Structure 1
């Protein structure tokens, strides 16, 4: 197989792996009734006029199965952290006692669980679409190589390999979604 084909296949694998990693990151943010510090990942706080990631202005820890605590390094950051959490619309209300912020995770209702499963499904669909787009781009690159002199047999083999890589990644998306749905729906 030519170096160009190997490069296309490697790029395809790498891009699909990134799409899968993105899905995993997004699924972690969907809470399943348990306190998880990762649900606050990516949350930005106004730190003296510049947006700063929450874990850089305070310590996030799990107090118990349903409680997260945020200990800011500066007391004057309590209000901005509280505002950022409210604006993020996480479904929890921060409790500020003047020293730390507590987030109590309310038990999920059946309706809210179904809503989270639907949200996870949407994330999964976005990942599937991204993976299919990566496949389409790779096959277009192979067809260009074929016009430039690549043999038809090599092109067909490469397209089949790309389809196999795609199928593998789509099945991994399905596994992640099934695991997340089970986690959300278990009471």
Structure 2
């Protein structure tokens, strides 16, 4: 086979894989919340809050997974960046959007250096990991450093960090990085 043909086939394969990935992501965002449940059974996962160390409220909660990962507590509005050897590399507070992800294990699906958020704010170091009924969920930092409370009337999935913490997240959470969401 000629060298040009191999490159063409490789490019075509890469484009096909990217297209299938994109379509799977879009399909997941459009799945009705009650799909696959029996009548009278809630589609929402029932997760209990992970145990906390009362002496050190910023300590990594037990039951938050294993291995290298980002841990995000919806109830505590806090993130932990955990190395493969279970050492907390960093932890910091965040300000969630108006839409929370369900507890579970995800992976970073896309990243953007700088975009405009769903609330109209210019954000940087965007690290996305899931979607909830059409709302993309991910970490980001406002370029102007502002951290206003989210407007509950606007469905937003941006979990805001300080600019310094956003840069730390950007360096840690590359495509495929595990993200564990806990209560």
TM-score by length of 2: 0.28
Structure number with higher helix proportion: 1
Structure number with higher strand proportion: 2
TM-score by length of 1: 0.27
Which structure has the larger Rg over C-alpha atoms? 1
